[in-house]
A and B are shown apart, each in its own frame.
Chain A
Amino acid sequence: MTQDTWNFIFIGLSFALYIGIAVRQRAGSTSEYYTAGGGVSPFANGMATAADWMSAATFISMAGLIASKGFDGAQFLMGWTGGFVLLTVLMVPFLRKFGKATVPDFIGERYYSKGARGVAVVCAIFICLTYIMGQMNGVGVVFSQLFGVSLAQGVVIGSAVVFFYAGMGGMKGITYTQVAQYTVMAFAYTIPAVFIAIAMTNNVVPQLGLIGEYTAGEEAVPFLEKLNRINTDLGFEEYTSGKLEKIDLFCITAALMCGTAGLPHVIVRFFTVKDVKSVRKSACWTLTFIAVIYLTAPTIGAFSRVNLIESLNNSSYEKAPEWFKDFEKTGQMAWVDKNDDGVIQFHGPGHSKNGTDSVFVVTSTVKKPIYPEDSAPEEQRVGKYGERILANKTDLSNPNELWFGNDIMVMANPHMAGLPKWVIALLMAGCIAAALSTAAGLLLVLSTSISHDLMKKIVKPDMTDQEEVKYARAASFVALTVAAYFGINPPSTFIAKTVAFAFGLAASSFFPTLLMGIFSRKMNKQGAIAGMVAGIGFTLSYIIFFQFLGGTKAQYLFGISPEGIGFLGMIINFLVAFTVAKFTPAPPKEVTDLIDNVRYPGGKETAAQDH
């Protein structure tokens, strides 16, 4: 059987499973649509949250980023898991006790104003949209690989699938399909790693392989030493030493952590379990399930780095493995024969005088390979050795000839290791599960923010349930269209980086506002609104300035990159909020009563699930 047949069998089966579950669990009421009626077991909810959490960014892009960043990849590993600790001990037990369906609901009630609710809705929209962009990009990578089409076509196919899928079931359907998706993802992620660990390090457990010995060579050497050596031989930094400034690494990690604790679509997940006690249990399960994947990611990153270099560097193009040509076809790998010898040479920044390793000239608008039109004569499209010719201007200041997108590392990994076809097919199914589950969860939150918090609570309070669901569906369609556009023209070339921006936005808006809402009895509406506006405003402008308006590294504030600026935005939020609160009236008694109620277990939920 060919690879395509296997792919379609695995993806078809997994889809049949998801759709079957979604149809069986169709939402009957708006309460089921938003929070599954609050009756999901902690174990199932833990799994579903893990699936929701493991986005296309994590699944597809993270290991590739770790492979190219080495030690610095720890920012994602620690940031995206450590945030769960913050989320669990500082946020969700209290928000669950409060008992409303959405994050803007809490903010609207706690800060007793429609204004605060409105600002929260706008923040939620910005965060979710940025996050979905990253997902759509990921969906595009998978579908383009699957059908052998361009990234843009892949994104369009993917959006259609996500829309159909997310609109169907609401939270109840999504929760149970996500349980199935987590299972697919966990197997898809770990099985290739196990195979490769056995081949490279003679160790069944990849995590032990990483700290064990590389046994595939002539003599056994410590694996990380081998990895460091092949990196430095090619002119890259040592794998285990980081490049980033400590302060930047600190800020990025902190922004990712605090952002995790302020992400509306993750917080909402914990509203689907019975009570505060189950919230804690559920959080334990969630993090355990997430840890399975996150402990594997660095091993995949390290293994694929070795594999990539060993299988491509210094091999002639004509003898290069078949998968390289497949990725070349979809524009995710490229080779430019700078020295005209027909051999692929891979070099790092250490081998050029000006410290670059770009294959082609990178400008603010051109960051990826571009190709001549299909109508161009053949000699302009196909090179001497059969390679695909780029329309980019070749960068001759360094000897590096190999370009690849980090996002394809995970998918290329089993190809590189020569694993059986069904493993690759399983991985494809896993990638799609990851992208679908997160995009669906996000779309749900986004559409809820618009239909419930904006339309029902602010614009048109006498709306019926059916109308609300209708608005929700319309909102998810519009959101998806916008997300698909940016999925094709992403703000950054790497999925994980785009997603990191979403975290910065969440860290600078929701995290501080929710935290003060729970732990400070003095925080009032003026403070909260001013804080949110200042925090997200600052972070958003910083990101836009450096990603779209051509800001340069030298202009970084304190050496902090746009991914890490959310941390500073968060501090600004706190400072502004406390300063404004000092000079404006304290919150009324109902609100301090509400805070007291939220802090203690037992008793009734503050607000009944009345929608």
Chain B
Amino acid sequence: MAKTKAAKGRYWRAHLRCVGVLLVIWFVTSFGCGILLRDWLDENFPSVGSAPFGFWMAQQGSIISFVLILLGYKFWMERIEADLEHDEEETK
């Protein structure tokens, strides 16, 4: 029982880490690139086609990254859950 609890604790921390990391990426690609650092990126980053980098991030790039973030979330969480199942089997 105690071991299951420890396994669950590990699972929850891994889960939180996954969510935390993805949310940081989420914040940087949207609020970071699209709004806060937009002007600086327009100046200093290479244009995407003929669009300034910050503008492109705000209107296209951020959306593409959101899709990738969710894909990452799906695979990462499946691994974490597989680890938990593995842990639980060992304790049985």
A residues near B, CB below 8 A? Answer: 66, 71, 73-74, 77-78, 81-82, 84-86, 88-90, 93, 207-208, 210-213, 222-225, 240, 246, 249-250, 253-254, 257, 277, 280-281, 283-284, 287-288, 291, 294-295, 298, 596, 599-602
In the complex, the chain A residue whose C-beta lies closest to that of B8 is: A600
Determine the distance from Cα of A238 to Cα of B38 in the docked complex, in whole angstroms.
15
Task: Let me know if A298 and B60 touch, CB within 8 A.
Answer: yes
Task: Let me know if A82 and B26 touch, CB within 8 A.
Answer: yes
Q: A284-B74, A599-B12 are in contact. Are A78 and B50 (CB under 8 A)?
A: no
Q: A85-B26, A601-B81 are in contact. Are A77 and B63 (CB under 8 A)?
A: yes
Q: Which of A90, A93, A208, A601 sits near B84, CB closer than 8 Å?
A: A601
Task: Let me know if B64 and A223 touch, CB within 8 A.
Answer: no
Task: Let me know if A291 and B67 touch, CB within 8 A.
Answer: yes
Q: Which of B8, B36, B49, B78 sits near A246, CB closer than 8 Å?
A: B36
Task: Let me know if A287 and B34 touch, CB within 8 A.
Answer: no
Q: Which of A89, A208, A249 sits near B23, CB closer than 8 Å?
A: A89
Question: Which residues B51-92 have CB closer than 8 A to chain A?
Answer: 51-52, 55-56, 58-60, 62-64, 66-67, 69-71, 73-74, 77-78, 81, 84-85
Indicate whether B35 reaches chain A with its CB closer than 8 angstroms. yes
For B6, the chain A residues whose CB sits under 8 A away are none
Task: Let me know if A225 and B26 touch, CB within 8 A.
Answer: no
Task: Let me know if B78 and A85 touch, CB within 8 A.
Answer: no
For A277, the chain B residues whose CB sits under 8 A away are 78, 81
In the complex, the chain B residue whose C-beta lies closest to that of A239 is: B55
Determine the distance from Cα of A211 to Cα of B59 in the docked complex, in whole angstroms.
11
Task: Let me know if B63 and A78 touch, CB within 8 A.
Answer: yes
B11 to chain A, nearest CB (A): 7
For B11, the chain A residues whose CB sits under 8 A away are 600
Task: Let me know if A295 and B36 touch, CB within 8 A.
Answer: no
Q: Which of A85, A249, A600 sits near B69, CB closer than 8 Å?
A: A85
For B49, the chain A residues whose CB sits under 8 A away are 208, 210-212, 222
Task: Let me know if A224 and B50 touch, CB within 8 A.
Answer: yes
For B55, the chain A residues whose CB sits under 8 A away are 71, 224, 240
Determine the distance from Cα of A240 to Cα of B12 in the docked complex, in whole angstroms.
43
Task: Let me know if B48 and A211 touch, CB within 8 A.
Answer: yes
Task: Let me know if A84 and B70 touch, CB within 8 A.
Answer: yes
Task: Let me know if B22 and A249 touch, CB within 8 A.
Answer: no
Task: Let me know if A89 and B84 touch, CB within 8 A.
Answer: no
Determine the distance from Cα of A253 to Cα of B27 in the docked complex, in whole angstroms.
11
Question: Which residues B3-20 have CB closer than 8 A to chain A?
Answer: 8, 11-12, 15, 18-19
Determine the distance from Cα of A288 to Cα of B74 in the docked complex, in whole angstroms.
13
CB<8 Å pairs between A and B, sample of 8: A77-B58, A77-B59, A246-B36, A250-B35, A257-B30, A280-B74, A596-B8, A600-B8
Q: Which 4 A-B pairs have the closest CB atoms?
A: A211-B49, A222-B50, A74-B58, A298-B59
Q: A208-B49, A249-B35 are in contact. Are A81 and B62 (CB under 8 A)?
A: yes
Task: Let me know if A291 and B66 touch, CB within 8 A.
Answer: yes
Task: Let me know if B35 and A81 touch, CB within 8 A.
Answer: no
Task: Let me know if B73 and A74 touch, CB within 8 A.
Answer: no
Task: Let me know if B12 and A84 touch, CB within 8 A.
Answer: no
For B62, the chain A residues whose CB sits under 8 A away are 74, 77-78, 81-82
Determine the distance from Cα of A320 to Cα of B3 in the docked complex, in whole angstroms.
78
Indicate whether B31 reaches chain A with its CB closer than 8 angstroms. yes
Residue with the greatest number of chain A CB neighbours at <10 A, chosen from B59, B60, B67: B59
Task: Let me know if B58 and A71 touch, CB within 8 A.
Answer: yes
Determine the distance from Cα of A490 to Cα of B48 in the docked complex, in whole angstroms.
39
B 24-54 to A, binary, CB cutoff 8 A, 1 in contact else 0: 0010001100111000000000001111100
In the complex, the chain B residue whose C-beta lies closest to that of A223 is: B50
Task: Let me know if B19 and A90 touch, CB within 8 A.
Answer: yes
Determine the distance from Cα of A288 to Cα of B48 in the docked complex, in whole angstroms.
22
A160 to chain B, nearest CB (A): 36
For A86, the chain B residues whose CB sits under 8 A away are 23, 26
Task: Let me know if A283 and B35 touch, CB within 8 A.
Answer: no
Task: Let me know if A81 and B66 touch, CB within 8 A.
Answer: yes
Determine the distance from Cα of A82 to Cα of B35 in the docked complex, in whole angstroms.
13
Determine the distance from Cα of A73 to Cα of B35 in the docked complex, in whole angstroms.
12
Q: Which of A85, A90, A224, A280 sits near B51, CB closer than 8 Å?
A: A224
B1 to chain A, nearest CB (A): 14
For B85, the chain A residues whose CB sits under 8 A away are 602
For B59, the chain A residues whose CB sits under 8 A away are 66, 71, 73-74, 77, 298
A312 to chain B, nearest CB (A): 25
Task: Let me know if A88 and B31 touch, CB within 8 A.
Answer: no
For A284, the chain B residues whose CB sits under 8 A away are 67, 70-71, 74
For B60, the chain A residues whose CB sits under 8 A away are 207, 210, 295, 298
Determine the distance from Cα of A203 to Cα of B26 in the docked complex, in whole angstroms.
30
For B51, the chain A residues whose CB sits under 8 A away are 210-211, 224, 240
For A222, the chain B residues whose CB sits under 8 A away are 49-50
For A77, the chain B residues whose CB sits under 8 A away are 58-59, 62-63
Task: Let me know if B71 and A82 touch, CB within 8 A.
Answer: no
For A249, the chain B residues whose CB sits under 8 A away are 35
A557 to chain B, nearest CB (A): 19
B82 to chain A, nearest CB (A): 10
